[in-house]
A and B are shown apart, each in its own frame.
Chain A
Amino acid sequence: MDMELGFNKVNMNRFFIGLVIVFLWTCQQPVDKLVSYNKDIRPIFNQKCLACHGGVKQMGGFSLLFEEEAFAATESGMPAIVRGKAHKSELVSRLRHHDEEQRMPQESEALAEKDIQLIETWINQGAKWEQHWAYIKPDASIRPPIIVDKDWAKNEIDHFIWQRLAQDSLRPNEELDKSSLLRRLSLDLIGLPPSLEERNAFLANNKEDAYEQEVNRLLDSPHFGEKWASMWLDLARYADSKGYEKDLYRSIWKYRDWVIKAFNSDLPFDEFSVTQLAGDLLPNPTENQLIATAFHRNTMANDEGGTDNEEFRNYANIERVGTTFEVWQGTTMACVQCHSHPYDPIRHENFYEFMSFFNNTADRDIYHEAPNIFTYEGADQEKVADIIAWIKQQLKPEDQLEGKGFLHQQKAALVNHLGYRKVEIETFDESGGFIELMAPEQTTIFQVQDSSWIRFEQVDLTAIEAISYRYATPFGGFIEVRLGSPFGKMISQCSLPLTTTPQTKSRDKWKNWRTLKVPIDPTEGVHDIYFVFRKNRIADADLLRLDWLFFHEQSPRMDNYSRLFSQKLEELETIKAIPTPILQELPTEKRRKNHLFERGNWLAKGKEVTEAVPEVLGALSKERSPDRLAMAEWLTSPENPLTARVAVNRFWEQLFGYGIVESLEDFGTQSLPASHPQLLDWLAIQFMHEHEWRIKDLLKQMVMSATYRQSNQITKEKLEKDPRNRLLSRGPRIRLGAEQMRDQILAVSDLLTPEIYGPSVKPPRPKGAGQFRFGDTYTLSEKENQYRRGLYTYVKRTNPFPNQITFDGTDRTICTSRRIRTNTPLQALSLLNNPVYLEAALAIGQYMDTLKVESVTERLEAGYEKVLLRAIDPEKLKDLAILYEDAQLHYAKESELTGSLLGNPSPKNEQLAALTIVAHALLNLDEFVNK
């Protein structure tokens, strides 16, 4: 065992030999007298100079942000730095100036003499400028260091880790025991613990590649995608609601399904990225490729009455720039929105040039979130296809229609062709003030008031003789149909009879709906039409409600067919399609101009700009026009210095608790130094070229390492030298994320509904978790859906699921790269008092209670093993026994309490009650909430 798993004496000796070699190697390095800009000079400039001579301010006409600026003439007409001549460089003389007023940095302490000397040497050596490391492509020539302790290392990753540990005279830990290792691996790869059976199978498997078999099994698990989707959805700021005041439902769960499927099918990361950013611009995009573009439709939309849609369209675009850079480039753009970056080489205009890539999508903060793609789920898909086929069979030769496009497009074309021209009211293209969608369904409009209006664009009115309105009103009112503007030519008007009687109770006043058919003046051609609403005698804030319109043709084709035919047509209409908002480019004639926003203010439009990427990060391919697809290809090109590094760093962080660069969201000059810079670059190169962007291969490489498999034992020495485990002197011991916490509890209690994919669910929330407002409701999902994985829990931005937030999840309003782990009493209260967890404890209690064993001790042991998947330590067993006995005595006395614990009015089962309490304690153990 020892030989196989960890350090034996031979290894120890090798280890010390290794140390000696490292030591000697360090001594033999020649002292490099060449001053490095990145290593020596940049930190001084960043700390002392850039505040006044950077992207925000260029005092005296001098800036140190870009090379050309640093060596350009300043306001005095002379450059501040003269290459090769420190004594002629104003920069140096000002650092030593005898006059306090003149001496730099102003109103601060002078630089240390040794720093000034460094700067002098650097200038005298030619003042060689270097780019920040993250803007230079990773070095493809890096090879894993040669290490002495080859027996410990399982793959190349370990070479990098071992070498760094050796520098601090640390040695790695031995391998974790098999049971705990499988638990860690399973929680990491699929977000669920292994079952007891899986654990037993692994223990019984003595083959050399037993561990690798488990890795492969988990990578192939359909639950793999669920775990990694959780991470990605934080970046995508995925939510089921639109945000801001109304914060109503957004139908975008198909995007989540797409992400899960993409991870499960191991879609290479470059393709994964391009599809989300520009799937709509790929040649002949599939439905799935279009759904992927919902990534950037997760931006918030403001449905509050009286908001300016153009304002919130612009906010969404600004947000898309920031998110794209954070997700793929680990670069922060928040500063650049208002002015040039204070310390990274990105200019103010770069922000708006980049925003131009998004500025010509068709979405514009309207209620219905157009453009949407409509798809059918499961059996509906077949049903729709069948009806379409049936209808087409019936069609006379002169009525034939060629079916093109996706299923929903075919359906829409067909019903339109046949004259079944029903228009759902909520799909209007624009509205005046007041008009809002009725929550939660958002399929009717309400708050229709006097002189409010809605517009439908590009409606072909040729051969239309009448319009039907599906409406309800307790007040009555008029509808006018006008062309071109709310004051344009009127082609129809009607007075709506009441849908209530004087006897109607006020709570029922909106319950009766009627349809009214109104003729229109014959009108040729395609028009933007306005429906303008006017009050009758009574004014009200909620005058009337509308559900749909129907445009009646003079002689629709459908009239020439049977009754059955019409029924089929109606049936086709009633099958619900799932909308998903997507990206779609505007046609050429509707393209918007791109402007810089002065100081980030969208109303202060500055100079016109065109699509481009920041120079420091390369350039777009010249092969194609500069559009979103070109931008996505630039991101995923091997020439891009950041994408692969940023990506491998994220995957690393999920497994090891910290990124190699801890600031996952920021690789700029302000980022934390990488703990293992060579490893980061080597992994990035591997990811691009060896794994060809395949995430599963990358993850496999990581979890196969000895570094990953270490035990998490901490010694005093390790705590001192490597307190936060940044050097990985031990295995990662990290508190589970919010989703994993929930999933693990449901899994070990066998309550979990393992179903994958589908719409979000609403599991029980604590009393007092707050209202879903504006007509929205929190209606519990059906029983089995209450036990789905945390990933599927409905995310309402202004009222997120309490446990998700308590355990450091986010409300998904903004892109989040890392969740800062906290440890709070609210977490303890949640674990202790959440009825769902007590229900899980009862299930585990029943499991212990019904085991065919004799002693209580055996039941307790089995319970611990069920929850933690390893054998219990005898000392801990004693504790559990004490709790058991105490609880048993207590519940024997308190039968009412027993009843309410077990959910059974007259139980005589203090053993089950006590076992439940023990199980509940197990779910609260630190070792359970950590991986």
Chain B
Amino acid sequence: MNIFQEAAKKMGNYNSRRYFLKQCIGGVGAMALDSIMDFGQSTTNLKTPHFLPTAKSVIFLHMAGAPSQLELFDYKPILQKYDGKPCPAALLEGKRFAFLQGTPNMMGPQASFQQYGQTGSWVSEHLPHFSKMVDEVSFLRAMHTDEFNHAPAQLFMHTGSPRLGRPSMGSWMIYGLGSENQNLPGFVVLTSGSDPSAGKSAWGSGFLPSLHQGVQCRSQGDPILYLNNPNGIDEHIRKRSIDIINDINRKEQEAIGDPEILSRIAQYELAFRMQTEVPEVMDISKEPDYIHEMYGTKPGQISFANNCLLARRLVEQGVRFIQLYDSAWDHHGAGKGGGVVDGLANACKNVDQPIAALLKDLKMRGLLEDTLVVWGGEFGRTPMKETRASGADFKGRDHHAEAFTMWMAGGGVKAGFSHGKTDELGYYGIEGRTHVHDLQATILHCMGMDHERLIYHFQGRDFRLTDVHGHVIRDVLA
């Protein structure tokens, strides 16, 4: 059934997004509340998925800036033969690149590769830890996207649209499924390095009510904005204050009769619980030494490793969608340390061990089977060399929308599998091409949601994460 038939079906019994939302929230409507309440409403906001999910949580590891598939997973020995030769005109015709000009030269793989695991997957020297985990993952080797600039491509990856203003995948997830833990946000974002190019819009709720937005949590300072008591207020005063605030609100409710006040009372109680619960979850210092060794974590720092460990802890708490961003993956070769050799190697050092540890740890705890881990960037990098400065050789690659590699693990996808293939130059997907919307459809599918049915009526039309596109990649499903 397509989106318009779907829309037509619903016409007549709903029109306002408010009405629709209330229906989704369920139960609350009966109380005639004016506003929409947050993740704290325990069972009332848990919604039924469309079908049986294979994953309860998603951890999305986004390498912002876009890592080079050609130096990590997509091994192209033939490309080496063309190294230094001009790119054939046919490959450039009608294509747009961010920085490449004229006729660039091809550039062979700048890393050495080996095969690993039962599956014999090619992985480069940059990922010694991850290479031991290849039998846990499904590679998507022929990913492609519509966008070739960072901010639009990141928005595209997370909101299904290259422009600002649409809800991100995690927001859709909370909108569709609600949140399991009543004391924690259902959609948590952890960043290491600077925010991604798309800024906080990458986890914004777009036109969905703001309660669906990703909540950025931190391993330094306040884990959530305004979580800690301000100076001069301790727990005793805080508790007494909330008691009195709620008592007065109750009296007001009895006098006025507005049920909305009951909702405010509930939110203050929840806020109080969050103040104790969230810091506990975010405190990794009590993890045993072997865990710290495994991840390479150092409590109190802001690091990708710490965020990986936090992600596991959040999954344990039933957080639905956890988004990790790591920066410094944009290897144009514009200067020293910025190419696909040294730049990429450095970036990999920060993430290789923690990612492998995360997979191992989840597996050890039996969490991997219902946690979907997704890894990737917003696009790939060109098989052509980017030469910004004649005479200098920093070995960079430009943004490439036609082909890149991502992988998924756990939560209902095949372990030790590879989907899709690129041509011998790694330029274009020739088998199992997977569009960003397909990936989104698949992630939603694992969470028990039909991407064509997860819709929201706004400005007179129905919106989906996948717009009017996307097919579930059946091949990778276990």
Contact = CB atoms under 8 A, between A and B. Distances in A.
Given A823-B38, A838-B233, A897-B234, A51 B226 contact: no
Nearest to B11: A47
Interface string A669-680: 011100000000
B213 interface: yes
A737 B32 CA distance: 20
B230 A833 contact: yes
B225 A670 contact: no
B5 A51 contact: yes
Contact of A832 (B98, B220, B226): B226
B391 A535 contact: yes
Tell me the dominant secondary structure on chain A's binding face.
loop
Interface in B225-271: 225-234, 236-238, 240-242, 244-245, 247-249, 251-253, 255-261, 263-265, 267-268, 270-271
A56 B468 CA distance: 13
Contacts of B240: 883, 886-887, 890
Name the residue among A433, A828, A924 with the largest chain B CB count within 10 angstroms: A828
A168 B275 CA distance: 46
Contact of B149 (A57, A304, A542): A304
A509 to B, nearest CB: 14
B271 A828 contact: yes
B150 interface: yes
Nearest to B204: A811
B279 interface: no
Nearest to A809: B210
Contacts of B152: 244, 302
Interface in A673-698: none
A672 B16 contact: yes
B87 to A, nearest CB: 17
A66 to B, nearest CB: 17
Interface string A865-903: 000000001011001101100110010001001111110
A315 interface: yes
A924 B225 contact: no
A712 B149 contact: no
Contacts of A926: 249, 252-253, 260-261, 264-265
B226 A920 contact: no
Interface string A39-77: 000010011111110101100000000000000000000
Interface string B335-374: 1001000000000000000000000000000000000000
B8 interface: yes
A196 interface: no
Interface in B14-43: 15-18, 32-40
A883 B241 contact: yes
Contact of B264 (A48, A49, A540, A823): A823
B221 interface: yes
Interface in A150-202: none
A196 B257 CA distance: 27
Given A666-B460, A811-B201, A921-B241, A824 B267 contact: yes
B267 A305 contact: no
A829 B11 contact: no
Contacts of A247: 199
B338 A541 contact: yes
A814 interface: yes
Contacts of B35: 735, 821-823
Interface string A529-553: 0000001001111100000000000
A719 interface: yes
Contacts of A800: 200
A830 B229 CA distance: 10
A354 B244 CA distance: 57
B274 interface: yes
Contact of B260 (A451, A671, A823): A823
Interface in B261-317: 261, 263-265, 267-268, 270-271, 274-275
B232 A719 contact: no
Contacts of A322: 459
Contacts of A349: none
Contacts of B238: 832
A452 to B, nearest CB: 9
A824 B38 contact: yes
Interface in A525-578: 535, 538-542
B237 A450 contact: no
Given A901-B231, A926-B264, A712 B258 contact: yes
A597 B164 CA distance: 21
B255 to A, nearest CB: 7
B36 A820 contact: yes
Interface string B174-209: 000000000000000000001101111100100101
A434 B99 contact: yes
A300 B149 CA distance: 15
Nearest to A48: B8
B197 A245 contact: yes
A920 B261 CA distance: 18
Interface stretch (A257-265, A397-405, A493-501, A769-777): A769-777
Interface residues of A, number: 126
A825 B225 contact: no
Nearest to A663: B16
Contact of A917 (B38, B101, B241, B389): B241
Given A541-B335, A821-B36, A798 B198 contact: yes
A712 B7 CA distance: 37
B339 to A, nearest CB: 11
Given A540-B389, A541-B335, A900-B232, A733 B224 contact: no
B461 A834 contact: no
B151 interface: yes
B423 interface: no
A56 B460 contact: no
A663 B458 CA distance: 9
A846 interface: no
B80 interface: no
Contacts of A829: 224-227, 271, 274-275
Contacts of B233: 838, 897, 901, 917, 920
Contacts of A802: 225
A378 interface: no
A658 to B, nearest CB: 9
Contact of A825 (B204, B232, B270): B270
Nearest to A823: B35
A820 B460 contact: no
A827 interface: yes
Nearest to B148: A306
B464 interface: no
B264 to A, nearest CB: 5
Contacts of A898: 232
14 contacts: A244-B164, A245-B150, A302-B151, A449-B388, A541-B338, A670-B457, A766-B225, A822-B35, A829-B225, A829-B226, A876-B251, A883-B240, A887-B237, A917-B241
Given A307-B149, A773-B195, A835-B231, 14 more contacts: A48-B8, A247-B199, A304-B150, A771-B195, A798-B200, A820-B209, A820-B210, A823-B35, A825-B274, A829-B227, A883-B240, A886-B240, A925-B245, A925-B248
Interface of B: 2, 4-5, 7-9, 11-12, 15-18, 32-40, 96-99, 101, 148-152, 163-165, 194-195, 197-201, 204, 207, 209-211, 213, 215-216, 218, 220-222, 224-234, 236-238, 240-242, 244-245, 247-249, 251-253, 255-261, 263-265, 267-268, 270-271, 274-275, 332, 334-335, 338, 388-392, 399, 457, 459-461
Interface of A: 43, 46-52, 54, 56-57, 108, 243-245, 247, 300, 302, 304-308, 315, 319, 322, 326, 331-332, 334-335, 342-344, 432-434, 449-451, 535, 538-542, 657, 662-663, 665-666, 668, 670-672, 712-716, 719, 723-724, 733-735, 766-771, 773, 797-800, 802, 805-806, 808, 811, 813-814, 820-830, 832-835, 838, 873, 875-876, 879-880, 882-883, 886-887, 890, 894, 897-902, 913, 917, 920-921, 924-927, 929
